[in-house]
Structure 1
Amino acid sequence: MNEESVSDSGWFRGVDPGDRTDARDAIEHGTAADPAAWPDRAVESGFVEDRERYYEVLHDVTTAIARTQVREREGTDVQRIIHCVRAMDDVERVANELAERVSAWAGTSFDDPGTGIEYARQIADETTADSEDRREVLDARLGSLAARVRALDDEGQALRETIERVTPEVAPNVSMLAGPVLAARLIALAGGLETLAKKPSGTVQLLGAEDALFAHLSGRASAPKHGIIYVHEYVSGTVPEHRGTAARALAGKLTIAARIDHYSGDRRPELQTELDERIARIRERGS
């Protein structure tokens, strides 16, 4: 179907209204040089009996196209990694919040209550539900809540292990430079490996610092020097006055790594060597 025929007759030219496959192909791959009264032309050509039917067919076909595209996109390993790292963050956040609740609750029943997930695990291991005494029943509910924390913590660790195993297969160079978990977070923040590969290094440097950047643009704060890549040892472990430079160096190599991962998939160990040497020179300035 060429541009001239589409422009003259519309996407429905030669398409059976009941054949959704042909209709989808015509809409997905067809083009038109200029807008036109397509509903009226569809009726005139005999494709449909009226405008209402035209919009029904168009709605059904475009909805099917959208569903297919979303399914294909969500079915990629990259999208699974994004869901996995976001799920891990959700699980860890909820586990920590519930662990705080367990600690506060435990303070009403036990002397010197601890804090954190490890203490919740201890409560879950030590509390039983075999009593009808009011206090012990309440303590049993505390133990049940602590057990939920333990289960969430276990799930978070399992998700982390999955990320550490799968991300290097999908983005080997970014994982090599950033570590699998940070690599997955960068991919998630960018919205995908392809999107990350297309971003300039300055944007990669500030991924995760959007609120700070907005505050700066609004005149309420100084410009951020780094986003989530701060957790990388090459940034956080560099003296403050040189962290911005270290962040730029890391972001630059990560950008190159993302492009290689997306467009070729080749492993480039020299990227790590080059980054190591660059960070070493930066740190020498602060010594």
Structure 2
Amino acid sequence: MTDTEDDAEAGPGAGWFAGGSSDDQGALRARIADGEADEPRDWPGLAVDAGFADSRDDYYDRLHEASVAATRETVRERERADDQQLVHAVRAFDDCERTANELAERAAEWAGSLFDDAEPGIEGARAVAEREPDGELERRAVSLASRVADLADERDALAETIERTAPAVAPNLAEMAGPELAARLIALAGGLEPLAKKPSGTVQVLGAEDALFAHLSGRAPSPKHGIIYTHEYVRNTRPEDRGSAARALAGKLTLAARVDHYSGERRETLHEELRERMATIRARAEEGKDDDGSGGDTTADAEGDA
């Protein structure tokens, strides 16, 4: 396009402001997000000529406003994505559990000074919450115990939400790791897409960042696994084989995350291959073989990085 009239028609290669009103923020956001041009042009001058802006400075002010609005809308959309909602649920679950346990200790200490039969822990707090208080101090102690019970109930409700949501967000990962571990891996990575883009070696040590940093500074050996230790394939494997099991599991978890992100289709072959690999690793114990760190581990790592 070579003249102002053409630019005003908002066709391919037209300025983001072309054909739009400075008051139509929705249309301007869309053109900022989706617009493109074959080559740079004198956009401020064209905007002034088209009557969109009063001056070049006014153009840049309007561009700034539209860009910020477009960025906010993009962030809002991403935050509403299912995997980000799962991240929020996991973090809220952890906050509720930590806070409930901390307050339960305080409630138990306080209740123990007021009631002879007060028990510790969250269940003890539930029992105190059902008491009929006598006096201001007992009312406050019972009220605190009630807050502990409410937080514990919210934690349980969040756990059920995670159990239902994780398989819908990441079917292969949730089946392979279990809904809670799958959700925690997604949360540690910052989302399903970041998790899918990580190499298997990184997935293997997610959750062990402190140990990894200590290793990098020369203060500790390299960690063999992070949060995936909670998976039965790692936790229930003999210590000398856990490194191999962690590598095999991390490799398949990485592939599962990639399939979930890019296609969303369940692939039975992933699960079958993991079961076969773990059967091979565990057979070492029955055969009396020592783990030398070789064997199929390299293959597992390669699969995760593919």
For 2:229 and 2:279, the matched residues in 1 are separated by 17
Shift of the alpha carbon at 1:258? 1.0
Shift of the alpha carbon at 1:15? 4.9
Distance 1:277 1:47, change over 3 A: same
Shift of the alpha carbon at 1:34? 7.8
Shift of the alpha carbon at 1:69? 0.8
For 1:269 and 1:25, the matched residues in 2 are separated by 40
For 2:57 and 2:132, the matched residues in 1 are separated by 66
Which residue is equivalent to 2:132? 128
Which residue is equivalent to 1:116? 121
Q: How does 1:152-191 map to 2 (within 5 A)?
A: 152-191=151-190
The question of whether the paired residues in 1 share the 8 Å contact of 2:14 and 2:37 is answered with: no
Give me the TM-score of the superposition, normalised by structure 1.
Answer: 0.85
The question of whether the paired residues in 2 share the 8 Å contact of 1:238 and 1:246 is answered with: yes
SS in 1 for 2:113: coil
Structure 2 unaligned spans of 5+: 287-306
Shift of the alpha carbon at 1:161? 0.6
Which residue is equivalent to 1:96? 101
Deviation string for 1:5-33 (max 9, x for gaps)? 99x99644565434434533443234568
Distance 1:256 1:40, change over 3 A: same
For 1:285 and 1:33, the matched residues in 2 are separated by 61
Q: How does 1:193-232 map to 2 (within 5 A)?
A: 193-232=192-231
The question of whether the paired residues in 1 share the 8 Å contact of 2:30 and 2:70 is answered with: no
For 1:272 and 1:196, the matched residues in 2 are separated by 18
For 1:21 and 1:114, the matched residues in 2 are separated by 58
Q: How does 1:3-42 map to 2 (within 5 A)?
A: 11-12=16-17, 15-31=20-36, 39=44, 42=47
For 2:86 and 2:154, the matched residues in 1 are separated by 15
Which residue is equivalent to 1:272? 271
SS in 1 for 2:265: coil
Shifted more, 214-223 versus 156-165: the winner is 214-223
For 1:25 and 1:155, the matched residues in 2 are separated by 39
Q: How does 1:58-73 map to 2 (within 5 A)?
A: 58-73=63-78
For 1:284 and 1:9, the matched residues in 2 are separated by 66
Which residue is equivalent to 1:234? 233
SS in 2 for 1:107: helix
Which residue is equivalent to 1:84? 89
Distance 1:20 1:138, change over 3 A: closer
Shift of the alpha carbon at 1:250? 0.8
Shift of the alpha carbon at 1:58? 1.4
Amino acid at match of 1:121: R
The question of whether the paired residues in 1 share the 8 Å contact of 2:173 and 2:260 is answered with: yes
- What is the percentage of aligned positions where both structures have the same residue? 60
What number of residue pairs does the alignment pair up? 278
Shifted more, 219-228 versus 171-180: the winner is 219-228
For 2:39 and 2:213, the matched residues in 1 are separated by 40
For 2:19 and 2:149, the matched residues in 1 are separated by 62
Amino acid at match of 2:212: L
For 2:267 and 2:50, the matched residues in 1 are separated by 58
Shifted more, 234-243 versus 28-37: the winner is 28-37
SS in 2 for 1:108: helix
- The answer to whether 1:55 aligns with 2:54 is no
For 1:22 and 1:249, the matched residues in 2 are separated by 49
Shift of the alpha carbon at 1:54? 2.0
Which residue is equivalent to 2:244? 245
For 1:184 and 1:147, the matched residues in 2 are separated by 29
The question of whether the paired residues in 2 share the 8 Å contact of 1:9 and 1:41 is answered with: no
Shifted more, 64-73 versus 175-184: the winner is 64-73
Deviation string for 1:43-63 (max 9, x for gaps)? 576542234422321122112
CA RMSD of aligned residues (A): 2.7
